């Protein structure tokens, strides 16, 4: 289970980077303010919802190269929800996003240690997101009651209706943005597996 998690997407690189940051902090090589680590985690969890809803579910681009990216990042995951090679975010998406976050944070904070702490928090939150997402799509029963509920919560998005339940690791922003519903209040969508079927060309990028 853990091996499969580590060998797909960007997980191994992200875990290595986060461990390096933690070890550097413990060895007093760098001082990473805990408040900025927390801020980075909160920043990711805010972007998790907006990225999923407004970027990954956006209509297909008229540019073929961008449409291929949309398929790899999310469209094809809805078609084949249990394929691990389509489940996790690829490095070519994660690294530029972290780099842009770091550059923007440095422009605002002008403190590389605070920026490093912010990025560490974002990476740890991203790993948490990937783990929760992974558990939702494999034949595994979470130990906690909340974990079991979150698994069902995400699967409603995949098998009931793709217009609701965008929060993968937490439901807070779904409640705030009114995209939370009880499953019996929602009709089954005919496009829950093939998003935007009018332009479903199944173009994918090599992994």
pLDDT digits (tens, 9 = 90+) for 132-155: 999 999 999 999 999 999 999 999
Distance in angstroms between the alpha carbons of the first and the last residue of the chain? 21
Q: What is the pTM of this model?
A: 0.92
Indicate the burial class of 165 (C-beta count within 10 angstroms; 0-12, 13-18, 19 or more).
buried
Lookup: tokens for 74: 């999310």
Task: Tell me: pLDDT of 17 over 60.
Answer: yes
Measure the CA–CA gap between 171 and 180, rounded to whole angstroms. Answer: 8
The band of 204, judged by pLDDT with boundaries at 50, 70 and 90, is very low
The band of 198, judged by pLDDT with boundaries at 50, 70 and 90, is confident
Radius of gyration of the chain measured on its C-alpha atoms:
18
- Which residue in 89, 113, 119, 117 sits closest to 101, CA to CA? 119
Share of the chain above pLDDT 90, in %: 91
The band of 201, judged by pLDDT with boundaries at 50, 70 and 90, is low
């Amino acid at each position: 289970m853990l091996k499969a998690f580590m060998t797909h997407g960007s997980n191994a690189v992200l875990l290595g980077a986060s461990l390096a940051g933690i070890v550097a902090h413990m060895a007093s090589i760098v001082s990473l303010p805990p408040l900025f680590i927390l801020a980075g985690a909160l920043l990711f969890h805010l972007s998790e919802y907006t990225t999923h809803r407004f970027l990954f579910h956006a209509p297909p681009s008229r540019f073929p190269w961008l449409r291929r990216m949309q398929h790899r990042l999310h469209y094809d995951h809805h078609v084949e929800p249990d394929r691990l090679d389509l489940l996790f975010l690829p490095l070519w998406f994660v690294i530029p996003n972290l780099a842009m976050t770091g550059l923007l944070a440095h422009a605002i904070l002008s403190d590389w240690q605070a920026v490093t702490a912010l990025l560490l928090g974002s990476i740890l939150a991203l790993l948490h997101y990937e783990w929760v997402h992974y558990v939702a799509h494999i034949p595994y029963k979470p130990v906690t009651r909340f974990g079991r509920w979150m698994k069902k919560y995400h699967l409603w998005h995949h098998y009931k209706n793709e217009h609701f339940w965008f929060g993968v690791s937490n439901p807070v922003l779904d409640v705030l943005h009114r995209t939370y519903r009880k499953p019996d209040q929602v009709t089954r969508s005919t496009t829950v597996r093939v998003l935007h079927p009018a332009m479903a060309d199944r173009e994918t990028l090599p992994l």
